[in-house]
Amino acid sequence: MSHGQDQQLERLTFFSDAVFAIAITLLVIEIHVPEVEGGGDAAWLQALGHLVPHFLGYLLSFVVVGALWAAHHRVFGMLQRFDPAIVWRNLALLMSVAFMPFSSALMSTHPTERIPEMFYSLNLFISGVLQWRLFRTALRAPFVAEGVPAEDIAAMRRRTIALPLMSTLSFVLAFWIPGMSNLPLVLMPLVVTWFARGGLKRRSTVTTPVV
- Distance, CA of 91 to CA of 64 (rounded, Å): 18
Angle at 62 (CA atoms; ends 65, 71), nearest 5 degrees = 30
DSSP E strands in 42-200: the ranges are: none
What SS3 state is found at 111?
coil
Q: Give 103-120 pLDDT, tens digit per residue.
A: 999 999 999 999 999 999
* pLDDT number for residue 39: 75
Give tens-digit pLDDT for 90-104: 999 999 999 999 999
In single-letter form, the type of residue at position 61 comes to S
Tell me: pLDDT of 206 over 90: no
Chain segment 34-91, per-residue pLDDT in tens = 888 877 888 889 999 999 999 999 999 999 999 999 999 999 999 999 999 999 999 9
Model's pTM, two decimal places? 0.87
Helix H or strand E encompassing 166: helix 162-176
**Euclidean distance between CA atoms 60 and 75, whole angstroms:** 23
